Amino acid sequence: MLIDFLQLSLVPMLIAVLASMACALPGNFLVLRQQSLIGDAVSHVVLPGVVGAFVVTGTIATAPMLIGAAVAALFAVGLIEIIRRLGKVEPGAAMGVVFTALFAAGVVWLEQSNSASVHLDVEHVLYGNLESLIWLDAESWASLVNPAALATVPEQLGRLAWVMAVVAIVIWVLWRPLVIGTFDPAFAASAGARPGLTSLALLVVVALSAVAAFEAVGAIIVVAMFICPAAAARLMTNKLHTQVAWSLGFAATAAIGGYTLAAWGPIWLGFENSVSAAGMIATTGGLILLLACCFGPCRRSR
Amino acid sequence: MNPLLDALLLRTGYNTTLVTIGAALLGAAAGAIGTFVLLRRRSLASDAAGHAALPGLAAAFILMAMTSGNGRWLPGLMIGAAISAALGLVVVHAITARTRLKEDAAIGVVLSVFFGLGVVLLTVVQALPSGNQAGIASYLLGSAAGMLRSEAELIAIMAALTALSVFILRRPLSMLCFDPDYAAISGVRVRLTDAALSVILLAVVITSLKVVGLVLSVALSIMPAVAARFWTDRVQHMVPVSAALGAAGAYAGAAISSSAPSLPTGAVIVLIMFGMFVVSLLFAPARGVLATAIRHQAFRRRVHRRQGLLALDRQESIHDGMTLRLLRQSGWIRRDGVPTPAGVLAARDAAHDEALWRLHGDRYPGDSAALHYHRIVPIKQVLPADALADLEALLAAQPARKSHATTRLAPAGY
């Protein structure tokens, strides 16, 4: 049982926690800036980026895929801005136009190029492959300090830890301009805080965490974790520091709770198969938000 | 014969023809309702509805597979999808109304959480023993190929009904979009009409499930409307333009993908509609980028020509290159900047016109401001003859303001 847990569950759980927290952190600002759907748009356009990287390099190696996805995300954000400015289109509609078109382009491109039935499909992009990130070399708790065994830990874990650290550092460094730009862009501009530049930095952080998390856990968790923990935390407190802390807690709870429910919930109910961990984590995030909506101390605006 | 041409000309059999026509009807209905969705700024609510349809779809599949053994009965799937999509819209509304979270967060929450729940149920579907789970994934991205005749007929009928209800409700809907308060005092039941908008939107989403798929169904109501917005400023024109664009895009997309079954129908339709959007954005005569740029350029030339003439009249020196070039092109100044006789006359006319405009502005400031002509259009093209005659008489009664250009000919550049 313990070995099973170490080999099959510990690493996916940690990855889910890191991915959720890396998304929830910038998500706080997205929710406050009423840009929640940027996360949704970014996670849709990751598909053409990944397909493009596959077509260009011919492999499904991770590095080119991450680069392709990041390029596609920034391209989409630029395109939304161009359409919004050039055509004076309402932001929501501009976003809808861009991300559906890019996602559709990704789907068609995938069908056209995927002759050799490489392991790359739309379902994979949506659901991720959390369950497959296992650590077979773990034999006991001692493996956690054994360098030989640690070397075979799925690389996504280390990468997400890095991304989590980068996201946290960027937000820590940019904290003041981000906060001013979020609550009072006009004052931020007059005080020399360059709100446009901070917004761009926030977008880059969002793209970075979306791409890194998506590769490990799929697009659903990414969208859910950008919004749910931050939205729930917003209903708990009026202080931004406290809200960020709540959101990180909620993200970790959703990841661990969702993974547990997905892996063992069906067994407790008497079924044999486990269900999608990615979907369950998103659902748990929704349940947390539901509780916050019903009982959160700051759920109504004053 | 080319299979694509066959498909476009409806020569590939009854089912495909029905699907293609059904898709066109669906595109028309979605385009028409999309106009109101766009004007009401609720474009992304339909995204939430599309994604929120998944758990209902999967639950209906599981329920039907467990009771009757066949989970793929389309009407049952549509009912399940409609229930959960409606629930999703209700939750969006409840979160926005009851908590301090804004609509964008509510939409994002609903679409991701419902979709996540749907994925969980999909993994349950995959574990069903009956082995008939194949095909449910096609509801994610749509597939018009290999559709049953009864399904195609159902889709065509639902699309026609939806298009009809948009047509019937077009008046209250447009009043609602532009002025909800005025709509209310004119006897339009605002809440009811808003609910009708949501119901039609839901109908479009669930009708499009099989053809376009739930991930991309939002594009069906956004893209034609956003594209149509570039072609006109009037809602009674925008609705038919949007419906026509939607119908054409969906028709072509369904035909192309039925001739090439590996292409997901939804993606092809969305790409074709995006192409229409780009063409509209760039080339539409009313608000397209090119037309706007041309109009802007024409406006600039007008302003420069007018200001150049006024400067000639006041014998001020002109240094602006564009002004000099325009005046030269019109034959109003010589190459060395000296006004030609025609230029002198034109300058005097411009000065006279300017004096009339100034007088009009002094006497009727409200009217003058409301005209928005920025004094670059000759006043006689704007005012009726009698009003103009009054102004002329007033101007003649004023102490004469000498027009310099008639008395001294000096190079404009000095």
**ipTM of the complex in this document:** 0.91
Q: How confident is the model over B155-199, as pLDDT tens digits?
A: 888 888 888 898 898 888 888 888 888 888 988 888 898 899 999
Q: Please say which residue of B284, B309, B335 terminates a domain.
A: B284
The pLDDT value given to residue A30: 92
Per-residue pLDDT averaged across B297-317, rounded? 89
Per-residue pLDDT averaged across A44-48, rounded? 85
The pLDDT value given to residue A114: 60
The pLDDT value given to residue B68: 79
In a domain, B412, yes or no: no
Same-domain status, B246 and B343: no
Sign of CA dihedral A243, A246, A251, A257: negative
Chain A interface, mutation test: which of B96, B103, B112, most A Cβ atoms within 10 Å? B112
Q: How much of chain A is in helix, strand and coil states, percent to nearest 5? A: 80, 0, 20
Q: How confident is the model over A147-177, as pLDDT tens digits?
A: 777 777 777 888 889 989 999 999 999 999 8
Q: How confident is the model over B27-50, as pLDDT tens digits?
A: 999 999 999 999 888 888 888 999
Q: Which residues pair with B333 in a beta bridge?
A: B339
Q: Report residue A213's pLDDT band, with 50, 70 and 90 as the boundaries.
A: confident
Per-residue pLDDT averaged across B357-371, rounded? 82
Q: Supply the Cα-derived Rg of chain B in whole angstroms.
A: 31
Q: Report residue A116's pLDDT band, with 50, 70 and 90 as the boundaries.
A: very low
Q: Which residue has the tokens 């946290």?
A: A168
The pLDDT value given to residue A101: 94
In a domain, B410, yes or no: no
In a domain, B182, yes or no: yes
Counting residues of chain B whose pLDDT is more than 90, the rounded percentage is: 25
Q: Give me the CATH number covering residue B100.
A: 1.10.3470.10
Residue A45 has pLDDT above 90, yes or no: no
Residue A22 has pLDDT above 90, yes or no: yes
Counting residues of chain A whose pLDDT is more than 70, the rounded percentage is: 95
3-state secondary structure (DSSP) of residue B67:
helix
Q: Report residue B146's pLDDT band, with 50, 70 and 90 as the boundaries.
A: low
Length of chain A as a residue count: 302
Q: Please say which residue of B263, B284, B305 terminates a domain.
A: B284
The pLDDT value given to residue A115: 47
Cβ separation A97–B277 shorter than 8 A:
yes
Candidate from A87, A101, A275 with C-beta closest to B120: A275
The pLDDT value given to residue B73: 83
**Most confident listed range (B71-80, B100-109, B262-271):** B100-109
Same-domain status, B275 and B308: no
Neighbours of B199 (CB within 10 A): 15
Same-domain status, B193 and B324: no
Q: Report residue A108's pLDDT band, with 50, 70 and 90 as the boundaries.
A: confident
Same-domain status, B304 and B279: no
The pLDDT value given to residue B405: 44
Same-domain status, B187 and B106: yes
Same-domain status, B226 and B324: no
What is the C-alpha separation between A297 and A274, in angstroms, rounded?
Answer: 35
Lowest mean pLDDT: which of A104-113, A227-236, B164-173? A104-113
Q: Report residue B400's pLDDT band, with 50, 70 and 90 as the boundaries.
A: low
Cβ separation A96–B41 shorter than 8 A:
no
Same-domain status, B106 and B207: yes
Same-domain status, B70 and B218: yes
Same-domain status, B187 and B273: yes
In a domain, B193, yes or no: yes
The pLDDT value given to residue B410: 44
Same-domain status, B343 and B280: no
Q: Report residue B336's pLDDT band, with 50, 70 and 90 as the boundaries.
A: confident
pTM above 0.80, yes or no: yes
The pLDDT value given to residue B412: 43
Superfamily of domain A1-295, CATH level 4: ABC transporter involved in vitamin B12 uptake, BtuC (1.10.3470.10)
The pLDDT value given to residue B180: 85
In a domain, B20, yes or no: yes
CA distance B152 to chain A (A): 23
Same-domain status, B138 and B256: yes
Same-domain status, B43 and B131: yes
Sign of CA dihedral B302, B307, B310, B312: negative
What is the C-alpha separation between B23 and B254, in angstroms, rounded?
Answer: 7
For chain A, the domains span 1-295
First vs last C-alpha separation in chain B:
74
In a domain, B404, yes or no: no
Residue B133 has pLDDT above 70, yes or no: no
Candidate from A92, A104, A301 with C-beta closest to B41: A92
What's the whole-number average pLDDT of chain B?
85
CA distance B190 to chain A (A): 23
Lowest mean pLDDT: which of A14-28, B151-165, B278-292? B151-165
Residue A276 has pLDDT above 80, yes or no: yes
The answer to whether B127 contacts chain A (CB < 8 Å) is: yes
Domain of residue B88 covers 3-284
In a domain, B411, yes or no: no
The pLDDT value given to residue B413: 42
What is the C-alpha separation between A111 and B169, in angstroms, rounded?
Answer: 40
For chain A positions 258-287, those within 8 Å of chain B (CB to CB) are: 262, 271-276, 278-283, 285-286
Amino acid identity at A35: Q
What is the C-alpha separation between B379 and A285, in angstroms, rounded?
Answer: 65
The pLDDT value given to residue B134: 61
In a domain, B407, yes or no: no
Candidate from B105, B119, B222 with C-beta closest to A127: B119
The answer to whether B350 contacts chain A (CB < 8 Å) is: no
The pLDDT value given to residue B374: 66
Q: Indicate the number of domains in chain B.
A: 2
